[in-house]
Amino acid sequence: MKRQSFDKTLFVRYFMFFLGLVVIAFGSVLTIRSNLGVAPWESFHIGLYYTFGLTIGIWTQIVGAIVIILSFLIAKIKPNLGTVLNIVFFGAFIDLFLWLDIVPEWKTIGKQCLFFLLGLLIIGIGFGMYISPRLGAGPRDSLMLAINEKWGWSIQRSRITIEVAVLLAGWLMGGPVSIGTFLIAILLGPLIQWSIPFWEKRMAKSFGRVPKEPIVVNGS
């Protein structure tokens, strides 16, 4: 029986995928600890944590699973392995960083701003790392695509509608909403748009992987 050869390219793709999730989770914890506001979905997860207990990471996993079910019911979008791994490990990484308590909460506005901006930059870098291997969209992206396919809304309209809805729900449950939330809404898209081709070029240079089609962040 012939022994199957080790696929180095696939290994590196999965390594980059998981490393990206770790980086995003760490950046998210930095924004949480800054107390200047978090992304709409994070506000929703924190609001659920304040209201019902459990942990922020577990709510990230639960909401992700529910969103995948909704995407399937709306437009028959089936999750792939990358989507499932995203749901399981992203929430776990957030809880791990919060449990390790390696990021303190700062009270001075200067350090809060520094932590927030650093977290925002790290999240943008992490998104490029996690998306560039093309192993599957996250659950929230799947819902956005499902709405686009089912009702013909633009990607931008679908994304904004979803994020406004979860932000409002998070705020009503006590989730953090502040100036940082709106900065994330404005700045994260351009950061991701820069980060994705940057990491794709790094991977293509080393392993000859050239994307078949461009990824548009906050496109119409």
| pLDDT tens, position by position, 58-79 | 999 999 999 888 888 888 878 8
Q: Mean pLDDT throughout 124-142? A: 81
* pLDDT tens for each residue of 86-115: 889 999 999 999 999 887 777 788 888 888
Predicted confidence (pLDDT) at residue 48 exceeds the cutoff of 90: yes
Rounded to whole angstroms, how far apart are CA atoms 47 and 27? 19
Measure the CA–CA gap between 95 and 20, rounded to whole angstroms. Answer: 16
Residue 123 tokens read as 């999240």
Structural contact between residues 18 and 129, judged by C-beta atoms closer than 8 angstroms: no
Average pLDDT, the chain: 82
Name the pTM for this structure: 0.81
Q: 185-199: per-residue pLDDT in tens?
A: 778 778 877 887 888
In sequence order, the 6+-apart residues with CB closer than 8 A to the CB of 48 are 54, 59, 63, 170, 173, 175
- Point out the least confidently predicted range of 139-143, 147-151, 181-185, 213-217: 213-217
* 170-185 pLDDT tens trace: 999 998 888 888 888 7
Q: Is the pLDDT of residue 206 over 70?
A: no
What is the reported pLDDT for 219?
Answer: 37
Side-chain half-sphere of 174: how many Cα atoms within 13 Å?
Answer: 8
Give dist(CA 182, CA 177) in Å, integer: 8
Report the distance separating Cα 46 and Cα 58, nearest Å: 10
